[in-house]
């Protein structure tokens, strides 16, 4: 760790506003169900939507641009037996069995499930969860090495840049993807623009597979998200340049005018920014809103009602615990850390009990990372938040806590119909842990993406090594 970035990080959390050293993120909420299945970016790339599908504008070739070229890698029909299974939706089966073949989960059940025709893997003493999902990552758009030439997460030249797409900044060779897979069991993740801008641009959801192109990682059928940010970052970045916004009220004024202008867009002439905003207004694109303070989140939810869109998730919502009731009523998720606090004024009221207090209110909790290191330990962060709840008498079952970094994240990213839980017919995104995933002493032993074994701790060749690391000291190390 570098002195500047980290010793300082003890107090100055990167925030996604400056260069590569200042990343913090913030997104917000995904809502989810309303939009699941609306995307047309997957499959063969041929546009199937009408001209009104703002989310996936059709190009001159009659296709949606930058379509996913990802297809599952070959896998063996596999039966995981004897393990404790957390299905991601609150279910737990001891001595359970998970069957998957041809990329899909076939069945999840107890030891009585027949495993004929499957390769059996004995999971006795081990645990199985859905693949881990990070709703807030900057892998690829703030990749390592964190040099200025790689600082591609903030188009900090205008407070509103709905026209930029994060996928155009993602470097597939970021070594961070491999660490997230091997140490964190991450199988899907949302890459967001940073938080310098009030409206930062489109996010992209990826499968965590090694690929030569970003199209080779794009999650087929995942809806787009749009990053927004409130609070300190935009007003600091633009106020510092002598531009609007320089205040929180300026933040809102700029945002509201942007929505009014978007509502008036008739689509006769293509406009990249307006297409994205229209996609939000039509519910096809999910708003992920970086927002720390409770009072500001309440204002944003009212602004969304005024303008006719929905906030899916507030990200970095360190004060969400103050308004868990409001967040539940508005069906907005809170994507949060377990314990980061104090690095900026709007993070001063962070407390360990944030997740537990939200759960108490019946609000949606997602544990996120916003960090290339934290993404390797989302399970541990969730366990910390769970323990804080236990100390104040809120006992949240392990099976529900696992949902904080699997199903709830998928729901808020609009992909819960496809992944995020172990249910028949869903993508076989699966982690076999060598122990309780809520323990510091456990690690992923095997990770499957769409039924293909993409990481195996017991086989040193079954781990991806990025182009960047070839021929460098430590190539292929366990890391």
Partner 1 sequence: MMRLATLLATAACALAAPAAAQTFAVTNATVATGDGSEPIEGGYVVVENGAIAQVGRGTPSGNYSVIDAGGAWVTPGIFATVTNLGLWDVGAVSESNDSRAGNSPFSAALDVAPVVNPASQHILVHRAAGITRAATVTMPSASIFGGQGALIDLGADPQAISRPRAFQVVTLGERGGRIAGGSRAATHALLRNALREAGSYGDGARIPAGGARADLRTGDDLPIDPRLAGRETERAGDALLTRFDAAALVPVVRGEQPLYVYVERASDIRAALALTQEFPRLELVLVGASEGWLVADEIAAAGVPVIADGLDDLPANFEELAATQSNIGRMVKAGVKVAINAAAMENPRNLNQYAGNLVALTRIPGADGLSWGEAFAAITSVPASISGMGGKAGVLAPGATGDLVIWDGDPLEVGAMPVKVYIDGIEQPLDSHQSRLRDRYRDLDTSDLPKGYDW
Exactly one of 138, 235, 377, 426 binds partner 1 (CB under 8 A); that residue is: 377
Closer to partner 1 by Cβ: residue 41 or 183: 183
The per-type count for the chain, helices as H runs and strands as E runs, is 10, 18
User: Any contact of residue 8 with partner 1 (CB under 8 A)?
Assistant: yes
Query: What's the gap between Cα 439 and its chain centre?
Result: 22
Exactly one of 36, 204, 383, 402 binds partner 1 (CB under 8 A); that residue is: 383
- Asked if 256 and 304 count as a contact pair (C-beta separation under 8 A), the reply is no
Closer to partner 1 by Cβ: residue 177 or 252: 177
Closer to partner 1 by Cβ: residue 53 or 381: 381
User: Any contact of residue 240 with partner 1 (CB under 8 A)?
Assistant: no
Other CB atoms within a 10 A radius of the CB of residue 157 amount to 11
Exactly one of 443, 450, 451, 454 binds partner 1 (CB under 8 A); that residue is: 443
Name the segment binding partner 1 (CB under 8 A); options: 74-82, 119-127, 238-246, 388-396: 388-396
Closer to partner 1 by Cβ: residue 118 or 433: 433
User: Any contact of residue 380 with partner 1 (CB under 8 A)?
Assistant: yes
Distance in angstroms (rounded) separating the CA atoms of residues 66 and 61: 12
Exactly one of 141, 275, 370, 372 binds partner 1 (CB under 8 A); that residue is: 372
Exactly one of 261, 267, 391, 397 binds partner 1 (CB under 8 A); that residue is: 391
- Asked if 78 and 117 count as a contact pair (C-beta separation under 8 A), the reply is no
- End-to-end alpha carbon distance in the chain: 14
User: Any contact of residue 92 with partner 1 (CB under 8 A)?
Assistant: no
Rg of the chain over CA atoms, in angstroms? 21
Alpha helices in 161-290 (DSSP H): 175-184, 232-239, 248-263, 272-281
| Residue 306 burial class via C-beta count within 10 angstroms: exposed 0-12, middle 13-18, buried 19 and up | exposed
User: Any contact of residue 479 with partner 1 (CB under 8 A)?
Assistant: yes
Write the DSSP symbol of residue 77.
-
Exactly one of 324, 403, 420, 451 binds partner 1 (CB under 8 A); that residue is: 324
Name the segment binding partner 1 (CB under 8 A); options: 157-165, 221-229, 251-259, 385-393: 385-393
For 130-142, letters b (16+ CB in 10 Å) and e give: bbbbbbbbbbbbb
- Asked if 208 and 187 count as a contact pair (C-beta separation under 8 A), the reply is yes
Exactly one of 157, 249, 253, 348 binds partner 1 (CB under 8 A); that residue is: 348
Exactly one of 13, 23, 235, 426 binds partner 1 (CB under 8 A); that residue is: 13
Strand, helix or coil for residue 463: coil
Mask for 108-147, x = binds partner 1 (CB under 8 A): ------------------------------------xxxx
- Asked if 264 and 281 count as a contact pair (C-beta separation under 8 A), the reply is no
Name the segment binding partner 1 (CB under 8 A); options: 43-51, 105-113, 159-167, 378-386: 378-386
Mask for 399-418, x = binds partner 1 (CB under 8 A): --------------------
Mask for 20-59, x = binds partner 1 (CB under 8 A): ----------------------------------------
Strand, helix or coil for residue 184: helix
User: Any contact of residue 398 with partner 1 (CB under 8 A)?
Assistant: no
SS (H, E, C) 33-49: HHHCCCCCCCCCCECCC
Site for partner 1 in 163-222 (CB under 8 A): 175-176, 179, 183
Shortest Å distance, C-beta 396 to partner 1: 12
Closest CA to 76 of 454, 350, 432: 454
Exactly one of 155, 271, 282, 353 binds partner 1 (CB under 8 A); that residue is: 353
Strand, helix or coil for residue 243: coil
Shortest Å distance, C-beta 434 to partner 1: 6
| Residue 394 burial class via C-beta count within 10 angstroms: exposed 0-12, middle 13-18, buried 19 and up | middle
Shortest Å distance, C-beta 362 to partner 1: 12
User: Any contact of residue 298 with partner 1 (CB under 8 A)?
Assistant: no
């Amino acid at each position: 760790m570098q002195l500047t970035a980290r010793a300082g990080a003890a107090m100055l959390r990167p925030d996604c506003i400056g260069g590569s050293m200042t990343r913090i993120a913030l997104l917000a909420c995904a809502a989810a169900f309303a939009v699941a299945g609306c995307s047309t970016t997957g499959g063969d790339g041929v546009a199937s939507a009408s001209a009104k599908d703002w989310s996936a504008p059709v190009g001159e070739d009659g296709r949606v641009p930058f379509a996913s070229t990802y297809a599952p890698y070959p896998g063996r029909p596999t039966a995981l037996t004897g393990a404790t299974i957390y299905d991601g939706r609150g279910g737990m089966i001891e001595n359970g069995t998970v069957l998957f073949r041809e990329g899909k989960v076939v069945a999840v059940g107890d030891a009585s499930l027949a495993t004929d025709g499957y390769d059996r893997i004995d999971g006795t003493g081990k645990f199985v969860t859905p693949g881990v999902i990070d709703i807030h990552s900057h892998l690829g758009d703030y990749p390592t090495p964190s040099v200025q030439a790689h600082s591609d997460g903030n188009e900090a030249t205008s407070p509103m840049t709905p026209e930029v797409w994060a996928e155009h900044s993602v470097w597939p060779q970021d070594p961070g993807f491999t660490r997230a897979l091997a140490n964190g069991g991450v199988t899907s993740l949302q890459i967001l623009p940073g938080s310098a801008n009030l409206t930062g641009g489109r996010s992209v959801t990826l499968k965590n597979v090694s690929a030569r192109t970003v199209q080779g990682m794009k999650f087929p059928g995942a809806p787009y998200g749009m990053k927004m940010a409130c609070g300190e970052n935009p007003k600091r970045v633009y106020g510092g340049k002598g531009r609007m916004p320089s205040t929180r009220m300026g933040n809102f004024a700029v945002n509201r005018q942007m929505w009014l202008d978007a509502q008036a867009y008739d689509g006769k002439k293509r406009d990249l920014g307006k297409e994205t905003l229209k996609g939000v207004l039509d519910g096809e694109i999910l708003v992920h809103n970086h927002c720390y303070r409770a009072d500001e989140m309440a204002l944003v939810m009212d602004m969304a009602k005024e303008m006719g869109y929905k906030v899916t998730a507030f990200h970095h919502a360190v004060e969400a615990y103050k308004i868990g009731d409001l967040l539940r009523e508005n069906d907005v998720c809170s994507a949060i850390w377990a314990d980061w606090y104090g690095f900026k004024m709007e993070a001063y009221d962070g407390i360990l009990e944030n997740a537990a207090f939200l759960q108490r209110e019946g609000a949606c909790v997602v544990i996120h990372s916003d960090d290339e290191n934290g993404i390797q330990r989302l399970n541990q962060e969730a366990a910390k938040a769970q323990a804080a709840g236990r100390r104040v008498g809120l006992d949240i079952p392990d099976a529900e806590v696992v949902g904080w970094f699997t199903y709830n994240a998928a729901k808020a990213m609009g992909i819960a119909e496809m992944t995020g839980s172990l249910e028949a017919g869903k993508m076989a995104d699966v982690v076999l842990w060598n122990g309780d995933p809520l323990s510091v002493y456990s690690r992923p032993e095997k990770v499957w993406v769409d039924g293909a074994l993409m990481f195996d701790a017991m086989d040193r060749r079954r781990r991806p090594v990025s182009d960047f690391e070839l021929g460098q000291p430590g190539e292929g190390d366990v890391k």
